């Protein structure tokens, strides 16, 4: 089940935190709760990504992105994710969720997110997300203009560029052929 109460908590507490510049990092303190664990009992791999949603909401709200998107009656969509798990986070352990917008291109925002406990990275993810309208993906430049940001471009780190390129060459035709044969 989606952690709606946690989302509500993030949205409410973000209003009392200082605003963030778009290039700054959001840090949320979290704890592994009963609904987050798997059989082992540790933070479930799928729940890592779900909790990372909360970090992107905090960042979006505090930078003004969320307000701008809602004002235009747009939405958000995750279009890709790559996650790497390094260490387990056990039941009831605390950790910090770091979220930063590391790159943009014409269509996508690229978020780098990390779960950190006692100075050690436990998981890290690169998330590609877009702003959507009834007409499709809204160009990043237009979203930034609505936010009042006209000259920001962090560049595209080589590792993000390599990941985005790999996503573009994924053999979707083969996947579609396999589905058609079933």
In the prediction, which pLDDT does 169 show?
A: 81
Per-residue tokens: 66: 């969320």
In the prediction, which pLDDT does 151 show?
A: 82
Q: What is the mean pLDDT of residues 15-27?
A: 96
| CA nearest neighbour of 149 among 99, 111, 104 | 104
**Count of structural domains within the chain:** 1
Domain extent for 130: 4-181
Q: What is the mean pLDDT of residues 47-76?
A: 97
Per-residue tokens: 83: 């996650």
Predicted confidence band of residue 10 (pLDDT cuts 50, 70, 90): very high
In the prediction, which pLDDT does 1 show?
A: 84
In the prediction, which pLDDT does 178 show?
A: 57
CATH number of the CATH domain containing 111: 3.10.129.10
Its pTM stands at: 0.91
In the prediction, which pLDDT does 181 show?
A: 61
In the prediction, which pLDDT does 150 show?
A: 85
Residue 58 CA from chain centroid, whole number: 10
């Amino acid at each position: 089940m989606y952690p709606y109460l946690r989302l509500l908590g993030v949205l409410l507490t973000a209003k009392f935190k200082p605003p963030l510049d778009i290039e700054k990092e959001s840090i949320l303190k979290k704890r592994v709760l009963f609904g987050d664990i798997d059989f082992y009992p540790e933070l479930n791999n799928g729940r890592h990504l779900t909790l990372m949603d909360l970090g992107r909401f905090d960042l979006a709200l505090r930078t003004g992105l969320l307000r701008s998107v809602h004002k235009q009656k747009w939405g958000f969509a995750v279009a890709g994710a790559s996650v790497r798990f390094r260490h387990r986070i056990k039941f009831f352990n605390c950790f910090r969720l770091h979220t930063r917008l590391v790159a943009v291109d014409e269509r996508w925002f690229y978020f780098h997110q990390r779960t950190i406990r006692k100075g050690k990275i436990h998981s890290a993810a690169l998330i590609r997300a877009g702003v959507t309208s009834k007409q499709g993906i809204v160009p990043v430049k237009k979203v930034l203009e609505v936010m009042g940001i006209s000259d920001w471009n962090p560049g595209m780190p080589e590792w993000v560029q390599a990941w985005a390129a790999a996503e573009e060459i994924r053999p979707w035709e083969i996947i579609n052929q396999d589905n058609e044969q079933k």
